[in-house]
Chains A and B, each alone.
Chain A
Amino acid sequence: MIKTIRLEQLLRDTPTPLSRHLVTRPTGRAVRGGIERTVAETGCAMAVLDFTEVGLLDMSCADEVVAKLLLAGIACHVVLAGLREDQLEAVDHVLRHHGLAAVALVADSGPYVLGLADEDMRRAFGCVCAAGPMTSEALADQLGWRSERAAETLAGLVAQRLAKAEGDEYHPLPLP
């Protein structure tokens, strides 16, 4: 199940709603708590964190909401949606800082990797998203890579939770 979580709504639902801005660490912690509760209650396999109508997002809050959520090993896959350019930058920065990556859905564009992912991972991610489930051999054929390079790169995608491994196939995240 895919659960879309509107962060603007979570901001309004915090015990003392302060503004429509995702700023300050305490605010970020409160919103992260809301995300974790929603995921636990719904048992969703994929959480889409929707930033639509959120005002500012500062680094401290991006760190608390996104980076710490991933670092804590949340039980489902996470995709980010509705980020403006300044918000994309903030999330990208904190993810890189922690050596993390996440998928962002950007308007008028396909899914996009934010954070720490090298060029091989980005190309492999694009192939898996475009072509659907594939083995490392299929990826190696498609990109003209050696099979070890393809296998290693796909394993990296799975480790960063940018794709799923099922048997010897690698699947794209079930995006909404």
Chain B
Amino acid sequence: MTRVVEVPASFDDRSFDQLAGAIGAWPPDARLLIDARGVQWVSPYGLVGLLSAAQALKDQSCPLPLFTMPQNDEVNRYWARSGFYEHAEGLFELHGKVPRHAPGSSETLLAVSPIRAIDDVHRAVTDISTNAARIVVEQLGIKAQETMRFGMALSEACQNIVEHSGSIGWVAAQSYTWRRKLGRKVVVMAVSDSGIGFRRSLESLHARRIGDRWGDGAAIEAGLIQNVSRFRDPGRGQGLALIKRFVLQWDGKIAIRSGTARLSIVPKWDDDVPLAEHIPYFPGSQVQITIPAPEAP
């Protein structure tokens, strides 16, 4: 039996819940057909999230999911340029023609990249550092010396996959203009894995302290707000502290989804809720960091 899971037409961190809801319980009770034919727009979060879904299915020995590509040629070319299909090849049974493309685009800070081990983190940091110097400075008007912080934040987010998730993950970053919401350029970095998630990672050391409130939301809060770690080493937990500081410094947003909760540090320009609980379950952890171009003086 095959069950169709429709990818939302505008597929980002918020509409991701629709996808998670459509997948339903894990592991799914049927082979999945991920139907992206109607997709008109996708964020880096959507791309890495889909790969994580497929990876989670693989990790749980589920049948290889089917994937139908966006019908809109331009959209499909973007998916190809982003690097999605290179990594989707072994994780989905692809239906449709992968467009030929020149790698990358003028707005791609980091093509979809796997994070399996520390050498992948180094590679991602090197790529984003190179591209940030070009894109962030030119398009967002951020000073060259500040671009280092993009790499630092990305490095910490990616390391969490290697150190905590118990699985592999994916990262991508892109700049684009948010006309409706902000009227400015933004850089969006998305990191997603299909691993154990915040709750299971932190449970053994922190569940008892938090007591009845313990759950996915409380676990993300412990990691992001209290900067706790699953390791007893007192030097741990500083990575998310750095990301948080970076985000606040740039009036940006960080949203972390894990299991059935999403916790965000929400800037004034966004209308997200700080904590969304009881949202449809999705394996692992998904992080999105959004940094807007500074407002014109």
Separation of A46 and B126 alpha carbons in the complex (Å): 32
Residue numbers in A under 8 Å from B14 (CB-CB) = none
A80-124 CB contacts (< 8 Å) to partner B? 84-86, 90, 93-94, 97-98
A63 touches B118 (CB 8 A): no
Is A18 part of the contact surface with B, judged by Cβ < 8 Å?
Answer: yes
B235 touches A68 (CB 8 A): yes
A56 in contact with B238 given A24-B118, A86-B145 (CB within 8 Å):
no
Is A58 part of the contact surface with B, judged by Cβ < 8 Å?
Answer: yes
The 8 A CB mask of A14-45 against B (1 = contact, 0 = none) is 00101101011111000000000000000000
Separation of A90 and B245 alpha carbons in the complex (Å): 11
Separation of A26 and B156 alpha carbons in the complex (Å): 13
A27 in contact with B235 given A59-B242, A85-B145 (CB within 8 Å):
no
A19 touches B148 (CB 8 A): no
B235 touches A23 (CB 8 A): no
A58 touches B242 (CB 8 A): yes
A93 in contact with B125 given A18-B119, A23-B155, A58-B155 (CB within 8 Å):
no
Is B194 part of the contact surface with A, judged by Cβ < 8 Å?
Answer: no
Residue numbers in B under 8 Å from A136 (CB-CB) = none
Is A67 part of the contact surface with B, judged by Cβ < 8 Å?
Answer: yes
Residue numbers in B under 8 Å from A135 (CB-CB) = none
A84 touches B121 (CB 8 A): no
Query: A24, A84, A98: which contacts B234 (Cβ < 8 A)?
Result: A98
Task: Give the A-binding residues of B (Cβ under 8 A).
Answer: 118-119, 121-123, 125-126, 129, 145-146, 148-149, 151-152, 155-156, 159, 162-163, 234-235, 238-239, 241-242
A-B pairs with beta carbons under 8 Å apart, 21 shown: A18-B119, A19-B125, A19-B126, A23-B151, A24-B159, A27-B122, A56-B125, A56-B151, A56-B155, A58-B155, A58-B159, A59-B238, A59-B242, A60-B155, A60-B238, A60-B239, A68-B235, A86-B149, A90-B152, A94-B238, A97-B238
A23-B151, A24-B155, A94-B235 are known; give 17 further A-B pairs, CB within 8 A. A19-B123, A21-B155, A23-B122, A23-B155, A23-B159, A24-B121, A24-B159, A55-B151, A56-B151, A57-B152, A59-B152, A85-B145, A86-B148, A90-B152, A93-B241, A94-B238, A97-B238
